[in-house]
Amino acid sequence: MKKAITCMVAMVVAGAALAGANKAVGLGNKKNIPIISIPIPIFSPTPTPTPTPTPAPAPALAGIAAPSLQGVAKVVSGLSLQNFLQPSWGTGDIPGSMAPDDVGAFRFNCAPSHNAYNDPIVYPGQPGKSHLHTFFGNTLADANSTYSSLRTTGDSTCNNILNRSAYWVPAMMSGAGKVVMPDGLAVYYKRYPVTDVRCTTFATACLPLPRGLRYIFGYNMMDPASTPTDTTKRWWNCDGAGATTGHFATMGDALRGCPTGDRIGVVLVAPDCWNGTQLDSPDHRSHMAYRVQDGQGHAVCPKTHPYIIPEFQLGVWYSTDATSANWYLSSDRMPGMPDSVAGSTAHADWFGAWDDGIVDLWTTNCINKMLSCSGGDLGNGQQLKLLAGYTPTVRTTLADIPAKP
């Protein structure tokens, strides 16, 4: 059973890929609004000795075909949308435009859910096979999770149960036999409005998220040499009163300008070009692609991946303390492999399981009307209720390492 231990998280607007120093991807909210209280549930499993992650190669899968550009068939959850919505920010206000930026934005924040040696994308049906992950979103995500199970079971730490998607990252290890729990996860989607001419000149079309899509982005554990090295797709940063901010290549570089009590975070940007034929690929990456330059200064989708879907960015943030120099990611230290520089193997997995009605709302309003939506604001005067069932208390930053199956 989880022990609900929560915290108050100060937020800054998510959106580092957009222009402007004040749009760093962090734990963010609506423009110039009061700070939001984000409860952080921390799970305390039975303590066990520090485990040894398993570097077993991923199984060779054939991938998962997409039946259509909409993905798999709808899975009805039986939930009533109105039970989980409220007037936006208590007033029903419509958010402002993203102009002069040329995309629509939808943002929200997640609390951590649980830690587990599971990865339903890389090792489906094989509990204990992966390195240790920290999960966000669906509270029942495990090695056996499927699109159908995610859609119909579990609560959610991302606003509420209407977003049963699962998000997971390598666990941050304390260096002293504990897991460092994140303050939270900041999620940011952006895309051109569907009527923008670039949807058909830079690609074949702009699409909403296909049902059943899943992928991995960031450091490539299967093929490290293919990992993007530039700090526009993956970087570390610090946020706080005494922070030196920037796009740092390593966690150590970011920590040098991150005083105790400020937040250290890693920001990962997913590719937004989809091949339109697969919901997953054997390497869990190649059905997605980053844009390429067309020789005229335009970032276009490659012909092999002709569909633009909402670009997905996430930032995982941790409050620093006197021991932060000892921290490392579970994927940094794999048996049979040399230790990697702390934080250098940062990556993320995403398995979408949104309620279809909610995806329709934020795509139609926030994305296609080019609005700046934050905190689960749906752009129509409604907002996802925030983490129903949790009450803010004092946050504990360390959790016991869970038992390995």
What confidence tens digit (pLDDT) does each residue in 95-104 have? 999 999 999 9
Q: Is 90 exceeded by the pLDDT of residue 170?
A: yes
**In sequence order, what are the residues at sequence separation of 6 or more whose Cβ sits closer than 8 angstroms to the Cβ of residue 132?**
51, 53, 115, 116, 117, 170, 171, 173, 179, 330, 401, 402
Residues 365, 108, 156, 56: what is their CA dihedral angle, to the nearest 10 degrees?
110
Give me the residue label for tokens 């100060």. Answer: 10
How far is it, in rounded angstroms, from Cα 158 to Cα 138? Answer: 8
Q: Which residue from 214, 116, 114, 213 is spatially nearest to 154, judged by alpha carbons?
A: 114
**Looking at residue 397, what is its pLDDT?**
85
**Looking at residue 92, what is its pLDDT?**
97
The pTM assigned to this predicted structure is 0.85
Q: Is 70 exceeded by the pLDDT of residue 171?
A: yes
Q: Which residue from 177, 131, 134 is spatially nearest to 323, judged by alpha carbons?
A: 177
CB 185 within 8 A of CB 110: yes
How far is it, in rounded angstroms, from Cα 16 to Cα 35? Answer: 19
pLDDT tens, 111-163?
999 999 999 999 999 999 999 999 999 999 999 999 999 999 999 999 999 99
Give the Cα-Cα-Cα angle 345, 351, 356 (nearest 5 degrees): 150
**Looking at residue 62, what is its pLDDT?**
61
**Looking at residue 219, what is its pLDDT?**
87
pLDDT tens, 290-346?
999 998 999 999 999 999 999 999 999 999 999 999 999 999 998 888 899 999 999
Average of pLDDT values for 14-18? 34
Alpha helix (H) residue ranges in 235-311:
251-255
How far is it, in rounded angstroms, from Cα 272 to Cα 281? Answer: 15
* pLDDT > 90: percent of the chain: 76
**Looking at residue 26, what is its pLDDT?**
61
Q: What is the 3-state secondary structure (H, E, C) of 24-44?
A: CCCCCCCCCCCCCCCCCCECC
- Give the domain extent around 392: 21-48+64-400
- Which pairs from 146-155 meet CB under 8 Å and 24+ separation? 146/120, 147/72, 147/75, 147/211, 147/212, 147/351, 147/352, 147/353, 148/75, 150/351, 150/353, 151/75, 151/77, 151/353, 151/355, 152/75, 152/77, 152/78, 155/389
Q: Is 50 exceeded by the pLDDT of residue 15?
A: no
Average of pLDDT values for 351-371? 98
How far is it, in rounded angstroms, from Cα 267 to Cα 247? Answer: 9
Residue 30 or 397, more confident: 397
Structure tokens given for 71:
């993905």
User: Rounded mean pLDDT of the chain?
Assistant: 86
Structure tokens given for 177:
């036999």
**Looking at residue 25, what is its pLDDT?**
58
Q: Which residue from 174, 170, 120, 109 is spatially nearest to 143, judged by alpha carbons?
A: 120
Strand 178-180 relative to strand 292-293, pairing: unpaired
Distances (CA, A) of 37 to 12, 218, 360, 393: 13, 29, 27, 10
391 pLDDT tier (thresholds 50, 70, 90): very low
**Looking at residue 100, what is its pLDDT?**
96
**Looking at residue 228, what is its pLDDT?**
75
Residue 10 lies in a domain: no
Domain count, the chain: 1
**In sequence order, what are the residues at sequence separation of 6 or more whose Cβ sits closer than 8 angstroms to the Cβ of residue 91?**
none
Residue 58 lies in a domain: no
Residue 286 lies in a domain: yes
Structure tokens given for 190:
């952006």
Q: Is 70 exceeded by the pLDDT of residue 206?
A: yes
For 153-174, b where at least 16 C-beta lie within 10 A, e where not — what string? ebbbbbbbbbbbbbbbbbbbbb
Q: Return the minimum-mean-pLDDT range out of 78-82, 206-210, 348-352.
A: 78-82
Q: Is 70 exceeded by the pLDDT of residue 261?
A: yes
pLDDT tens, 34-85?
333 333 333 333 333 333 333 444 444 468 999 999 999 999 999 999 999 9
Strand 307-308 relative to strand 205-206, pairing: parallel
Residue 296 lies in a domain: yes
CB 183 within 8 A of CB 7: yes
349 pLDDT tier (thresholds 50, 70, 90): very high
Structure tokens given for 303:
């012909």
How far is it, in rounded angstroms, from Cα 325 to Cα 333? Answer: 15
**Looking at residue 14, what is its pLDDT?**
35
Give me the residue label for tokens 């919505």. Answer: 85
94 pLDDT tier (thresholds 50, 70, 90): very high
Residue 81 lies in a domain: yes
Residue 219 lies in a domain: yes
CB 317 within 8 A of CB 265: yes
